[in-house]
Amino acid sequence: MRLSVLLASLAAVCDAAQVKFTNNIRLLFDVDGNQIDAYGSKISNFNGVYYLYGNSFAIEGVAFGIKSYSSVDLINWKYEGFLFDPYSNTPCNDLGGCGRPHIVFNPITQLYILWANAGSSGYPVATSSTPSGPFFFLSSPAAIDPQFNGLQPADFTVEILNNTGYIVFSALNFRDPRAGSLWPPIFQTLHASQLTSNLENTTEISYPVVSVADDLIDQEAESPDIFMRNGIYYIVASNTCGYCNGSIGLVYRSASIQGPWMRQIIAGYSCNGQVEGVLPLVNPSTGQTTYIWHSTSVPGGPRVGFGGHIFQPLQFNGDGSVQDLNCAAKAQFTVDFQAGNGTVASGNATMAGQATPLSAEYDYVCDSDQFVLYQTWTAAKAGTISSVSVNIAASVQTVPLSLTVFRFDSYSDLIAPEYKYTTMGTATFNRTSLSYVFDVANVPVTSNATVQQGDLLGLAISGADFVPYCHLEYSTGTGASSSSGPTGWGHGPQGSWGGSSFSPSGTYRLFQQGVGQNSWRGLQGTISPIYERLGKSVKFFVTYA
């Protein structure tokens, strides 16, 4: 008896894990190197495994189906596929596109119950015997408080608190006479209801989630999540912000689900994001729970698929109020938590023979309309290379993207006229063989594949179209730094080979060639059209056989 208690507590200690979140490291990737494609993510813990759910933008560029990922350490995420076939006939084809997916588990029926936002009445509900599906939709949606029947149910959360299921939802009013010509186009208010005991419907009795102000901030609240701390109900939300890059971050709190609610604004732009959920993480050593606020950050405009995420612990004051978010670019948050059971997932990217960092401050760069890129590296080890993989996002291009893996003799040779590199593999991709998000494009290496440590290798990326393809870059910390962003590369002084302003170093070096620039340049006629994009590298990885 005592021994088993001791073993259990030892096991608990061994299961302690730590995760570090950094504000500027926003893009998440699965263990195969593909971008996590889950807008409006919700992370749930089922059977001691963390699951991340969200809407896929990869295929259609708009919400299309729901993807899930699993992890035991919140770092290595394994893609678990779509929750149901997005091409099948589902309620998701209706308004809302099955947005804000949330799942609760019913221990009595042993069913996972997926709620989603779609349609003009209620919420579609689907069930599955496993957390990653396949889910099957019930024949009728869950009903909400009939007083909102004339409005459109919108963003919502479902959660189990204190053994009771709850939904918090916003009801959209497109016909409110107060709508402005410019803004706001809609009004929406938050409401909380209990779920029925089978967690597949609501009680149809709702309570408003509103502050005493009952102002335009309460009346534009969306993307809610709910949690409980020290017997107090907390509802986080944001203001209307359709796929934009930042919105007011709200926290409501009350001792009763029926209110009254105290409201706080804890961020003006939510660190350029929109809250998507709060993840409670228990520290197994202390039993303390950390509540991780997480939000989707999107560039703004149609490129929703480029969405990243920020994660940070909410900091509570003695009276239960919450401190402002810390949006400092470099802010880091280390959290101790209970590791999931099972083994840490691995995949093509995590097992790669050589790779740029799996996690870094990657930024999207869309410039294949202006540049051919030559990403170079020195082979980290000897062996036979089987493929090189790079993250590329497409949209409406008509010209294919061409990728070539090559080896070369020296950097000066590479940029010299008439130099011929040795081709190791090529592949072309069109927009339909890529996706709207940063999935991996694989180039099989088919010849001259055996390398020695230190060999100079490269990947040429070429796809000049009116609409550029996009890749990911990070700062390597070598070479001169550049203050310019993605669009700045065509302007200002660039490093030129033979110039005196930098000393080339580093394993990962990126060279660029303006599209169509094929001759000596400069007044002396001595400047190569190929020059270094200083201190930058494309995200990629190399697989050895």
Asked if 245 touches ligand NAG (CB under 6 A), the answer is: yes
Q: Looking at beta carbons only, is 351 or 480 nearer to ligand NAG?
A: 351
Asked if 246 touches ligand NAG (CB under 6 A), the answer is: yes
Q: Which of the ranges 63-71, 174-182, 198-206, 479-487 carries the binding residues for ligand NAG, by CB under 6 A?
A: 198-206
The backbone torsions φ and ψ at residue 538, rounded to the nearest 5 degrees and listed phi first, read -75, 145
Question: One-letter amino acid identity for 348?
Answer: N
Pair of tokens at residue 484: 């310019």
Q: Looking at beta carbons only, is 18 or 140 nearer to ligand NAG?
A: 140
Q: Which of the ranges 108-116, 199-207, 278-286, 497-505 carries the binding residues for ligand NAG, by CB under 6 A?
A: 199-207
Asked if 346 touches ligand NAG (CB under 6 A), the answer is: no
Q: What is d(CA 421, CA 374) in angstroms, rounded to the nearest whole number?
A: 12
Q: Which residues contact 5 (CB under 8 A, 6 or more apart)?
A: none
Q: Mark 74-109 as b/e (b = at least 16 C-beta within 10 Å).
A: bbbbbbbebbbebeeebbbeeebbbbbbbbbbbeee
Asked if 76 touches ligand NAG (CB under 6 A), the answer is: no
Asked if 162 touches ligand NAG (CB under 6 A), the answer is: yes
Q: Least CB distance from residue 428 to ligand NAG, whole Å?
A: 8
Q: Least CB distance from residue 48 to ligand NAG, whole Å?
A: 3
Binders of ligand NAG among residues 138 to 157 (CB under 6 A) are: 138, 140, 142-143
Name the strand (E) or helix (H) holding 355: strand 354-355
Q: Looking at beta carbons only, is 64 or 123 nearer to ligand NAG?
A: 123
Q: Least CB distance from residue 300 to ligand NAG, whole Å?
A: 3
Q: Least CB distance from residue 220 to ligand NAG, whole Å?
A: 17
Q: Looking at beta carbons only, is 172 or 228 nearer to ligand NAG?
A: 228
Asked if 334 touches ligand NAG (CB under 6 A), the answer is: no
Please tell me whether residue 288 adopts helix, strand or coil conformation: coil
From candidates 110, 181, 334, 432, binder to ligand NAG by CB under 6 A: 432
Integer CA distances (angstroms), 144 to 48, 123, 156, 204, in order: 31, 8, 12, 5
Going by C-alpha positions, the residue among 178, 255, 170, 268 that lies closest to residue 216 is 178
Q: Which residue is nearest to ligand NAG (CB)?
A: 48
Asked if 268 touches ligand NAG (CB under 6 A), the answer is: no
Going by C-alpha positions, the residue among 251, 248, 254, 255 that lies closest to residue 274 is 248
Asked if 320 touches ligand NAG (CB under 6 A), the answer is: no
Burial class (CB in 10 A: 0-12, 13-18, 19+), 45: middle
Q: Least CB distance from residue 442 to ligand NAG, whole Å?
A: 4
Asked if 483 touches ligand NAG (CB under 6 A), the answer is: no
Judge contact between 191 and 206, C-beta under 8 A.
yes
Q: Could you tell me the strand order of the sheet in which 202-209 lies?
A: 152-161, 164-173, 187-195, 202-209
Q: Looking at beta carbons only, is 30 or 532 nearer to ligand NAG?
A: 30
Q: What is d(CA 249, CA 238) in angstroms, rounded to the nearest whole number?
A: 5
Q: Least CB distance from residue 532 to ligand NAG, whole Å?
A: 25
Question: One-letter amino acid identity for 541?
Answer: F
Q: Which of the ranges 59-67, 197-205, 483-491, 502-510 carries the binding residues for ligand NAG, by CB under 6 A?
A: 197-205
**By rule CB under 6 A, what count of residues binds ligand NAG?**
30
Please tell me whether residue 133 adopts helix, strand or coil conformation: coil
Binders of ligand NAG among residues 440 to 469 (CB under 6 A) are: 440, 442, 447-448
Q: From its phi and psi, is residue 223 left (phi > 0), alpha (psi between -120 and 50) or beta?
A: left
Binders of ligand NAG among residues 281 to 300 (CB under 6 A) are: 300
Provide the 8-state DSSP code for 192: E
Burial class (CB in 10 A: 0-12, 13-18, 19+), 519: exposed
From candidates 9, 433, 487, 501, binder to ligand NAG by CB under 6 A: 433
Asked if 240 touches ligand NAG (CB under 6 A), the answer is: no
Q: What is d(CA 21, CA 34) in angstroms, rounded to the nearest whole number?
A: 19
Asked if 387 touches ligand NAG (CB under 6 A), the answer is: yes
20-59 mask for ligand NAG (x: CB under 6 A)?
A: ------------x--------------xx-----------
> What residue ranges bind ligand NAG (CB under 6 A)?
32, 47-48, 125, 138, 140, 142-143, 162, 200-201, 204, 231, 245-246, 269, 272, 300, 341, 348, 387, 422, 430, 432-433, 440, 442, 447-448, 543
